[in-house]
Amino acid sequence: MFGYTVKVVKRSDHKSFQVLPKRWIVERTFAWLNWSRRLSKDYEIRHTSAETMIHIAFAHLLLRRST
């Protein structure tokens, strides 16, 4: 619908550390969103209000970094 392609990256069975492609970007983004208290739990009833809270959280993050 939006033209995005999702690629699932599976963890390897190796015992050593290995960087997985693009996975850290998604995990870092979710970690930034968890700093917002309202997004740490599923408080929203409608998905539109949850989406709005995500936009507000990222706007707050960007404004805080610009100063």
pLDDT digits (tens, 9 = 90+) for 12-33: 666 777 676 677 787 888 888 8
Q: What is the pTM of this model?
A: 0.54
pLDDT digits (tens, 9 = 90+) for 41-65: 777 788 888 888 888 888 888 888 8
In whole angstroms, give the CA distance from residue 6 to residue 3.
Answer: 10
At residue 28, the pLDDT reads: 82
